[in-house]
A and B are shown apart, each in its own frame.
Chain A
Amino acid sequence: MLGTTQQQLDRPRRIKPWMLGLTVVCGLWLFGLVSFVAADGHIEVVLPRRRTPPAEVHNFSLWDLGPTIRASSFYGDWASLHHPAFLVDGKWPSDKVEKWASAERDRHPWIELLWRESHTLERVVIRHAGAVEDAGLTANHYTLRCLTASGQGPSLEVVSNLDAVATHDLACAQARGVRIEFEPKDSKDIIRIFEVETWGR
């Protein structure tokens, strides 16, 4: 009897196929979980190009020139979806819904407008919430950064904006896009922008 027990103890423990399968599935799921948790939840929209850009000074972020819009988040309510594509729809005046608004829990909202080719950027026009809604909803503190093929170009920090339609001179050669980083006023503030125009050649 003792000999039999000893034999059983000496026998290497076999891994059953179902245990191995379960371990592999759990491992893969955990890998997916890490990727899921690491995701930052930003949105990217690529619009199709419907016309070629003109040679003269123009807004090269307009929807029909096929820009790419990236945003840290958006306010995705069922009835009033404030999608970032509204930033470049060129519709003005706009109703209160057709704007980009950051999500309620987004503490570091940002947007990026990227173009299909390089441009010489001259100025950025931002149509804030105050242009349509209450003036107090206009974003006051934000930073504009020019994006170039080699990384970041010139930037401009705006600390006390009160203009509902704010025009910011930002000269930047070989620009591929602009990034705007906003500072919410408090933990409950959301950023509301109706339109962003980038003018140059």
Chain B
Amino acid sequence: MSKRRVNIALAAIVLVGAILRVLALRYEPVHHPDEFFQYLEPAWGRLTGAWIETWEWRSGVRSWVLPGYHGAWMALLMRLGVHDGSTIGKLLQAHWALLSMSLVWAGWRGGMLMARRIGPNRVVAASPGGTSDNDTAPIGWQGGLIGALLCAAFPLQVRFSIHTLSEQASILCMVCALVLTAELASTTGGEGRIKAAFMGVILGLGVCLRIQHAPVPLVVALWLMVSRRFWLAVVATCAAMLPVLVFGLVDKLTWGGFLASFIGYVKFNLVEGGASIFGTQPWKWYLEHFLKRLPMALPVLAILCIIGIRATWPFVASALGLTILLSTQAHKEERFVMLFWPLVLIAAAATAGAWLAPRKPAEPAPVWVDGNPLPTRRLRTWLVRSVILASLALVFVDGARHARGNDFAGLDRGRYDAQVWAGRQADITGLLYDQPLFTGGYLWFGRTFPQLSIQTDRLGNPIFSHALVERDSGWMREAKRAGFEEVFSKDGYVVMRRTVWPVEP
């Protein structure tokens, strides 16, 4: 295969990934209220004054770094004349979708580097740098293309790419750091110090964003040690301190103590197990969840990972370490473990790619009397290739069939859309609702108005111009009696507008 053809294939994969992310932007529902209330709403609140302050922010267990990052884009967009909160929110989702394309690069590089070390051609690939001449594709390109394709188009990965969660930001850092480590592990001597420093920075950033991803830096350190890249390990460790310093100083400025939010977060979630108030699940919950997402293809991915374990162990160990660490925590959510998928996909891609590569036999193939090669070898090659390609197809089909839904069952799209509709009305001065938890923040309304849970005496407060209730509920009847009329409905939720105002006392 020529380099040009591989580049065209890679470009096509990037295009597919981009198109799928555009579709995700259009159709992907809200995954979790945290994606607004922890990382967008505080930034919006600082710029407009209107925000709902969750207990995490009141207790100081969240860092201002990620909201500050979003806030800088928001401030820039507002300076450019974009003041509509939902437009800004959508642009930030698109920005994360765009950044998630870095996983395609990670899949390409990671899959290729590991594929060189697996399978029948590893001796050939181990020749100087594992590179090829200018016209032929780099060795291991099959693993690279499969890794890129899986990272670009794996349905769950595509869905998750648009969410403004700290998990998403950390996943990008962690996966890219692991791939850079793969590159560093294949260098010689003291080469790659700048790369090691960059890898250290993104690794430190990933941990600061999501401490639960800590197994990855441990594996990275082990990998560099095993590869005898001690000096690069020192460089990376020093560089990883930079984000820690930034997070610590931001905490000092905002919460009054160095790494105050980080310490508070770890204490509450990991030491005291405080998150268990949000629900507890058995230890095997994550394993069951993986099987729920890929009931048929997960064993295939596992087999591929095991076959190539000699090269893929850092990715597999990171994925397992993450799963084991999170399984020890009582409170479990799917978003916490999303890093598992790109790690496993890239590892499996490397093995699949290695087995798709043409063999270069040491001895000439046995031939018939007439000089043609025996069909058994070709048959075996095509059989292996068919199995690998069928496995990949299975991953996509199985993944697409089971990609729907999320574990935050209370998040009702109808209720969410109804509230966003109400919040964007020009004449809204106040909103009464029956469920405050599953609603969008002020960012999505672009307006500042009071919102409270519905009560009989509050229906008499003239500042409340709208009410969000369930159809045919007692509150709907009571709101009608208080002078509200239906103006919008979706999926059993009704927005009512006040048409008769209370008489002044």
Contact = CB atoms under 8 A, between A and B. Distances in A.
Contacts of A37: 68
A51 to B, nearest CB: 10
A3 B49 CA distance: 64
Contacts of A92: 505
Given A81-B450, A89-B461, A36 B74 contact: yes
A41 B46 contact: yes
A31 B52 CA distance: 26
B47 A36 contact: yes
A24 to B, nearest CB: 12
Contact of B75 (A36, A74, A90): A36
A32 B79 contact: yes
Interface in A69-92: 71, 73-81, 83, 85-86, 88-92
Nearest to A92: B505
A42 interface: yes
B45 A76 contact: yes
Interface in A14-69: 28-33, 35-37, 39, 41-45, 47-48, 50, 63-64
Given A29-B73, A32-B74, A35-B79, A85 B449 contact: yes
Interface in B437-461: 437, 448-453, 455, 457-458, 460-461
B287 to A, nearest CB: 34
Contacts of B282: none
B370 interface: no
Contacts of A98: 450, 452, 458, 461
B462 A76 contact: no
Contacts of B458: 95, 98
A89 B501 CA distance: 12
A74 B448 CA distance: 11
Which bucket holds chain B's interface residue count? 35 or more
Contacts of B71: 32-33, 36
A73 B57 CA distance: 15
B62 to A, nearest CB: 14
Contact of A81 (B74, B452, B504): B452
Contacts of B52: 76-78, 81
A94 to B, nearest CB: 8
Nearest to B450: A83
A169 B468 CA distance: 42
B462 A89 contact: yes
A104 interface: yes
B75 A35 contact: yes
Contacts of B46: 36, 39, 41
Contact of B53 (A29, A47, A77): A77
B97 interface: no
Given A81-B451, A83-B450, A91-B462, A43 B48 contact: yes
Contacts of A78: 52, 54, 436-437
B463 A33 contact: no
A50 B501 contact: yes
Contacts of A86: 450, 463
A95 B429 contact: no
Which bucket holds chain A's interface residue count? 35 or more
Contacts of A149: none
Contacts of A97: 452
B430 interface: yes
Contacts of A90: 462, 504-505
B446 to A, nearest CB: 13
Contacts of B450: 81, 83, 85-86, 98
B99 to A, nearest CB: 12
A42 to B, nearest CB: 5
Nearest to B50: A43
Interface string B105-123: 0000000000000000000
Contacts of A50: 501
B362 interface: no
A103 interface: yes
B454 to A, nearest CB: 12
Nearest to A94: B461
A83 B75 contact: no
B429 A36 contact: no
A32 B73 contact: yes
Given A45-B449, A83-B450, A85-B449, A71 B73 contact: no
Interface in B68-102: 68, 71-79
B255 to A, nearest CB: 9
A165 to B, nearest CB: 15
A98 B464 CA distance: 11
A45 B448 contact: yes
B427 interface: yes
A36 B68 contact: yes
A73 B79 CA distance: 22
B416 interface: no
Contacts of A30: 72
A32 B437 CA distance: 31
Nearest to B43: A36
Contacts of B48: 43
B26 interface: no
A45 B445 CA distance: 13
A111 to B, nearest CB: 12
A44 B448 contact: yes
Given A78-B54, A83-B450, A43 B49 contact: yes
A178 to B, nearest CB: 19
B58 interface: yes
Nearest to A42: B49
B453 A44 contact: no
7 contacts: A32-B71, A32-B75, A39-B75, A44-B448, A48-B429, A88-B463, A97-B452
Given A45-B449, A98-B450, 9 more contacts: A29-B73, A32-B77, A47-B429, A50-B501, A77-B52, A79-B436, A83-B449, A92-B505, A95-B458
6 nearest A-B residue pairs (beta carbon) = A43-B49, A32-B76, A83-B450, A35-B75, A32-B72, A33-B72
